[in-house]
Structure 1
Amino acid sequence: MPLPSRDEAMALLHEWVQDPRLLKHLYGVEACMRAYARKYGGDEDLWGLTGLLHDLDYERYPTLEVHPRKAAEVLREKGYPDELVYAVLAHANYLQDQYPRRSLMDKALYACDELSNFVIAVALVRPNRSIHEVDVQAVRKKMKDKRFAAGVNREDVIGGAAELGLDLDEHIAFVIEALKPVAEQLGIAGTGSAVPAEAAE
């Protein structure tokens, strides 16, 4: 079967997800996955839809017992390819015994999941709420503050870069750039004239 279109994926997404914060997270991961697909020569639509749909069930079933198994079940029923369904299952660390991350797409999804959320959080506390005020140093500084975006697992951020074979700073810089084209959609385009990140420290 051909890969469902993004419009079809969006219709499914909005059937399952209403929380604006979760939607922004999914749009952010999609953007990062598309960027990594271009970097690694992957199928941009396949990688993008994997990012867009990986937490499809989280709003309804945010428990370890169900998430992301329910998402995988729904996606399989809807005719999404096996590699997309597998990556959705493999992004959960607690399912690594059953679904170890094998492909670059699996590893990229894991690597982008927590970090994209963290970068968005950093952008939202900059003076103009702008991704254009965020650099690697700003992200690193906030990672040391355990109270900031406390729900983001720092070990997953570090481990994600390592699984891709990337230096953490390189990975952070890549994610920052990947999020810029969708900044408006994510609410991090800025409220005024952007200032350089170093000046916003």
Structure 2
Amino acid sequence: MSIVIPSRLEAERLVHEWTASESLRKHMLAVECAMRAYARHLGEDEELWGVTGLIHDFDYERYPNASQAADVEHPAEGVRHLRTLGWPESVCEAVLGHADYCGVPRETTMAKALFAVDELSGLITACALVKPSRAVADVDVAGVRKKMKDKAFARGVNRDDIVQGAEALGVPLDEHIQRVLSAMQAHAGPLGLAGLTPPSSTTFSGDA
């Protein structure tokens, strides 16, 4: 039985309906880019992996982990909504699996990839935004590794998740970082990471 994959437009509508924060929307876009890159690398379904990455945090703004019960917060509430809409169970389980506290094992490669790229995309974004240029093009693997060691930098990023995620995929950490970084660099504009616009030069006319 073939899986009916929701369209990217459907996923995008969900994101816009549930999420007002521009930075959170861009995070979901970054994860989508990384998931598509991994799908292409592994010969998997790019559309399925892409929409999974795009909607993985769509409920976070409404249910920002304020409750002590994992079943009444992000991402459980979002997954309940996805199921009412008939989204594939593989997507629902991957979204649940990207949050350890849900206790849902990451059994598919797609679920493992989502967990692996989620925190890393956030770290790469932070690395870009502290560059003088604010451009992800100026970020490299060595710089990301250096920032990983700096616990005071981007405190909200779980470094262990990045390392464990790469291990679960069977990918060397540097290769993992490079793949996600390259995906984000290729879509720097929509992610808001193309850098500062240089001041326009003054044009003189006539004799100097």
Aligned mate of 2:82, from 66, 75, 87: 75
Structure with the greater alpha carbon radius of gyration = 2
User: Which position in structure 2 is the counterpart of 1:191?
Assistant: 196
1: CA distance between counterparts of 2:59 and 2:36? 21
Aligned positions of 1:12-31 closer than 5 A: 12-31=14-33
Give the length in aligned residue pairs.
Answer: 191
Whether 1:112 and 2:144 are equivalent positions in the alignment is no
Q: Which residue of 1 is the match for residue 182 of structure 2?
A: 177
Q: Give the 3-state SS of the residue equivalent to 1:185 in structure 2.
A: coil
Tell me whether 1:93 sits opposite 2:94 in the alignment.
Answer: no
Distance (whole Å) between structure 1 residues aligned to residue 34 and residue 181 of structure 2: 9
Q: Which residue of 1 aligns with 2:135?
A: 130
The alignment partner of 1:190 has SS state of coil
After superposition, give the CA deviation of every residue in 1:67-93 in whole Å (9 maximum; x if it has no partner).
111111111111211100110111111
AA of the residue aligned to 1:129: R
- TM-score w.r.t. the length of structure 1 is 0.91
User: Per residue, is there more helix in 1 or in 2?
Assistant: 1
Task: Tell me which of 133, 142, 165 is aligned to 1:160.
Answer: 165
Gaps of 5+ in 1: 194-201
Stretches (4+) displaced over 3 A: none
Normalised by the length of structure 2, the TM-score is 0.88
Amino acid at match of 1:162: E
State the alpha-carbon separation in 1 of the partners of residues 120 and 4 from structure 2.
30
Tell me how large the CA RMSD over aligned residues is: 1.3
Q: What is the CA deviation profile of residues 145-169 of structure 1, one whole-angstrom value per residue up to 9, with x for unaligned ones?
A: 1111000011111111111111111
What is the SS of the residue equivalent to 1:129? coil
* 1:19-47 Cα shifts (integer Å, max 9, x gaps): 11110110000000000000111111100
How far apart, CA to CA, are the structure 1 residues paired with 2:147 and 2:5?
38
Q: Distance in 1 between matches of 2:23 and 2:14?
A: 17
Amino acid at match of 1:170: E
State the match for 1:197 in structure 2: none
Separation (CA, whole Å) in 2 of partners of 1:2 and 1:141:
42
Partner of 2:155: 150
> 1:46 is matched with which residue?
48
